[in-house]
């Protein structure tokens, strides 16, 4: 996709740096029908494929500029007002239009879901044909999360193009991927066990009064082991949010600890990223909340004297670094003792989501390729969890596959993988005695055995046993570092990140759209103030009121997600987690179950990303007549562009469009 009008005949007028989905001041863009004549635009305006809900007349029209600040009502401008809810006659998907499609054949005939056409960049599973994004029923991937009117969000989002028919092997992590743990019940359990262990090693009994608060933590936070602060940062280390215990720091307080409002992320001894759901021993939201509770307790306890780097009690000094080490040792103890796993297995219905679509999807995947499981959990725990997930002997009404042992769904099963070491040199590959759960002596060197279980090994061993190479594998996991980053950088595997929080994120994105629109209008208004100034100008616009309003709207947006805000952004700035997701995950979604609604011949197509100079500098524009003359020979050769089969664009000769990968 290049400059000018988007290929679907509708676009969004854009000015400013790449990535800012904005209107030029004084213009409101209303999409036109396919084939409508081009709308006149200023030369500084770019068109990009971010369509809005059609609203006649289909043309660019002049609109009054935003009112001066301060103003009691939200600023006017482009696209203001609440959006239609998802599931209504028209809706939006992360700011892009979802238009009902009634004249296309169903792509997933076994799943009767409403189908929506999405044409924006980064669209869920975009391949130029309609995709099912919404499901009106069924268990949600994150307990208690809802998409509003439509039930669950079932779209798969694309960072890099991927042709699903080229995938020869599907790999899975278990915890928070195949096995989804119910939130906040599971985090509450882990949090209580960690508190009990800390008390057993000498921490005050009063900390047992703290209860897990699911509205406070989020993934991707950074713990500062020097000052005891929980930080939310962007990909460069710039501070977005700073909290000391449950008290959020502002202005001068932040400058006291971080004079440049910046941290050195490569200082791994001081700054520790809490970015996984299943952090080897306990969920990281529980770990992050525990740090906040401990700092809050010692800060407010009269027996302790507050210092910048810790607390004094008589002749004793406890640093934040030692507190961090104690929590990590508590997590190791909870893991090694097996108490968290024991409590989980005692009440699987309370802590583990059971979905009848899991065996259905895996059976379909095994029909088109190989399937393997690689988990850090030991065999006994893996066997108990997987047996529960695949056991529908009680005659579950929604179960669509015959009852059979869970191991039969996989070509290879590897436990105790010790990721991320698994993606480097790995460990010794040993075979597991499935009757006793014990390991057989010696390194396994034989061929792959059906329904056998192995322990340890490495990603290279997996490729050798299954007879596949890097890009043949699509690996799915929840750990941005242990599952996604390492498998991508060291092995070249294609990657799918499970982000259960996405359901909640999308719900807020759609329900609170007026806040995002106001923030965009504020950014535009701020840019407009400097548009006609140059190096000879002595005028200095007063932007203090605009900046205060931006801060207020950003705070209000953050509070819609939780006390620490969104997993992906703070106002218009993306978080470290969001940057890692876009950089290392080829695909992502709230659950891997979303693959059930896509054919295995599907092409996940990511649109090209323009650099700043490409998004702001015009190409020479052809008028409508010249464009038609230029395209005529191509159309005659390739046929009508709407000719598609199974989600992959085909020309008249039947040749498939490549996925863009080498």
What is the set of active-site residues? 173, 175
- 3-state secondary structure (DSSP) of residue 30: coil
Q: How would you write 120-174 as a 3-class SS string?
A: CCCCCCCCCCCECCEECCCCCCCCCCCCCCCCEECCCEECCCEEHHHCCEEEECC
Which of 570, 584, 615, 576 lies closest to 222 in space, CA to CA? 576
For residues 117 and 99, the answer to whether their CB atoms sit within 8 Å is yes
CB 177 within 8 A of CB 585: no
Distance of alpha carbon 330 from alpha carbon 588, whole angstroms: 32
For residues 593, 466, 381, 287, the Cα torsion angle rounded to the nearest 10 degrees is -60
CA distances from 431 to 175, 351, 454 (A): 21, 30, 4
Angstrom CA distances, 124 to 47, 54, 152, 159, 580, stand at 21, 20, 14, 10, 18
Distances (CA, A) of 53 to 9, 62, 158, 488: 13, 18, 22, 37
Distance between CA 431 and CA 452 in Å, rounded? 8
Distance CA 521, CA 509 (A): 17
- Strand-strand pairing, 316-319 and 453-455: unpaired
Q: Are 286 and 218 a contacting pair, CB within 8 Å?
A: no
d(Cα 471, Cα 491) in Å, to the nearest integer?
Answer: 8
Rounded Cα distance between 109 and 597, Å, is 9
- The torsion angles phi and psi of 307, rounded to 5 degrees, stand at -125, 165
Distance CA 77, CA 95 (A): 15
DSSP 175-203: BTTTBPBPTTHHHHHHHHHHHHHHHHTT-
Residues forming a β-bridge with 311: 306, 318
* Nearest in space to 569 (alpha carbons), one of 496, 495, 516: 516
Backbone angles phi, psi at 521, to 5 degrees: -65, -40
User: % helix / strand / coil in the chain, to the nearest 5?
Assistant: 30, 20, 50
Burial (CB count within 10 angstroms: exposed 0-12, middle 13-18, buried 19+), residue 418: middle
């Amino acid at each position: 996709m290049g400059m000018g009008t988007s290929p679907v005949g509708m676009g969004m007028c854009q000015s400013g740096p790449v990535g800012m989905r904005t209107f030029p001041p004084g213009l409101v863009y209303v999409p036109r029908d396919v084939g409508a004549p081009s709308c006149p635009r200023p030369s500084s305006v770019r068109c990009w494929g971010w369509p809005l809900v059609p609203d006649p007349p289909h043309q660019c029209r002049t609109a009054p500029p935003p009112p001066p600040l301060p103003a009691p009502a939200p600023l006017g401008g482009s696209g203001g007002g609440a959006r239609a809810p998802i599931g209504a006659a028209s809706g939006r998907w992360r700011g892009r239009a979802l238009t009902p499609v009634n004249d296309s054949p169903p792509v997933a005939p076994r799943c009767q879901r409403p189908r929506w056409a999405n044409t924006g960049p980064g669209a869920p599973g975009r391949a130029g044909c309609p995709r099912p994004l919404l499901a009106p029923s069924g268990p949600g991937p994150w307990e208690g999360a809802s998409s509003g009117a439509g039930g669950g969000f079932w779209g798969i989002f694309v960072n890099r193009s991927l042709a699903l028919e080229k995938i020869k092997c599907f790999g899975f992590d278990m915890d928070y991927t195949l096995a989804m743990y119910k939130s906040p019940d599971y985090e509450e359990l882990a949090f209580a066990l960690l508190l009990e262990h800390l008390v057993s090693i000498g921490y005050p009994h009063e900390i047992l009064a703290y209860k897990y608060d699911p509205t406070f933590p989020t993934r991707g936070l950074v713990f500062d082991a020097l000052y005891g602060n929980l930080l939310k940062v962007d990909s460069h280390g710039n501070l977005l949010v700073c909290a000391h215990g449950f008290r959020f720091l502002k202005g001068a307080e932040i400058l006291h600890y971080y004079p440049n409002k910046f941290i050195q992320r490569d200082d791994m001894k001081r700054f520790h990223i809490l970015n996984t759901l299943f952090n080897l021993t306990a969920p990281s939201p529980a770990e992050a909340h525990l740090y906040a509770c401990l700092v809050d307790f010692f800060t407010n306890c009269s027996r302790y004297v507050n210092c910048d780097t810790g607390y004094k009690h008589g002749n004793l000094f406890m640093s934040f670094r030692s507190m961090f080490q104690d929590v990590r040792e508590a997590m190791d103890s909870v893991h090694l003792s097996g108490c968290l796993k024991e409590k989980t297995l005692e009440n699987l219905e309370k802590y583990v989501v059971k979905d009848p679509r899991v065996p259905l999807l895996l059976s379909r995947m095994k029909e088109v390729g190989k399937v393997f499981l690689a988990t850090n959990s030991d065999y006994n725990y893996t066997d108990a969890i997987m047996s529960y997930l695949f056991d529908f002997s009680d005659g579950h009404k929604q179960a669509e596959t015959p009852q059979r042992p869970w191991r039969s769904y996989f070509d290879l099963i590897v436990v105790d993988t010790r990721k991320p070491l698994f993606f480097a040199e790995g460990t010794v590959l040993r075979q597991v005695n499935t009757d006793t759960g014990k390991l057989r002596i010696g390194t396994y060197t034989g061929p792959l055995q059906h329904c056998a279980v192995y322990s340890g090994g490495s990603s290279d061993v997996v490729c050798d046993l299954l007879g596949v190479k890097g890009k043949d594998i699509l690996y799915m996991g929840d750990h941005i570092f242990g599952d996604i980053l390492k498998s991508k950088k060291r092995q070249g595997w294609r990657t799918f990140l499970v982000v259960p929080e996405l359901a909640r994120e999308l719900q807020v994105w759609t329900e609170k759209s007026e806040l995002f629109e106001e923030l965009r209008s504020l950014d535009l208004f701020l840019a407009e103030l400097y548009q006609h100034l140059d190096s000879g100008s002595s005028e200095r616009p007063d932007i203090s009121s605009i900046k205060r309003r931006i801060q207020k709207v950003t705070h209000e947006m953050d509070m819609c997600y939780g006390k620490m805000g969104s997993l992906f952004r703070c106002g218009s700035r993306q978080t470290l987690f969001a940057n890692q997701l876009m950089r290392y995950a080829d695909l992502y979604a709230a659950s891997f179950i979303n693959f059930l609604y896509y054919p295995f011949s599907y092409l996940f197509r990511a649109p090209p990303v323009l650099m700043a100079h490409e998004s702001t500098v015009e190409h020479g524009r052809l008028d409508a007549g010249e464009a038609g003359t230029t395209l005529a020979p191509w159309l005659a050769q390739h046929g009508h562009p709407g000719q598609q089969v199974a989600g992959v664009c085909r020309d008249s000769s039947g040749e498939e469009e490549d996925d863009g990968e080498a």
